[in-house]
Amino acid sequence: MQLLLAGLFACGCVSLVDGPLWPRAESYIDTTMDCSQSADPGNCRHTRDTWKTEYDAATTGQYQDQRNVAFCLSTGCDNAIQPDKVLGCAWRIVIMNSRHAELDNTDTVNLKQFCGPLMSITPDGKQPKLRRRQCWNSSEKDWARSGR
């Protein structure tokens, strides 16, 4: 059996990654809310109409689309998108680490505003040494408790 599996992997007949690398754009649309219930129904409809295009462009590295996706995931964009503050923050970190030529001070401000409550970071996008040390110490304790 092991020989059969090894042969299948070797010839590429079996892929370890069967699904897409990114969730489908449509999976983020907030289907529990109707745009007519939004504070700005027109913006909600526009966001839903353009979401797939912007999301797909964001996953390929397009700067402004990454900013738009991060904003909508952080805020919900007038009930168009299911808010996910952690994922929105993750997109902000991707933007800061991408070193796009278009990066400006608003990206740093957005990182602080949308990620500040979620994590401690410095303006250059790195965790302060004290915070890293705290994480390391708790990791050591968890490791020791696990008996590894």
In this predicted model, what pLDDT tens digit does every residue of 103-115 receive, in sequence order? 999 999 999 999 9
Q: For residue 23, what pLDDT is reported? A: 86
CA gap 142, 148 in Å, rounded: 10
pTM attached to this predicted model: 0.67
Query: Which residues share a beta bridge with 101?
Result: none
**The one-letter amino acid at 92:** R
Choose among 63, 131, 73: nearest CA to 97: 63
Average the pLDDT over 80-108 and give the result: 95
Distance CA 120, CA 132 (A): 10
- CA gyration radius, the chain: 20
Taking residues 61-75, what's their average pLDDT? 97
Query: What is the per-residue pLDDT for 127?
Result: 55
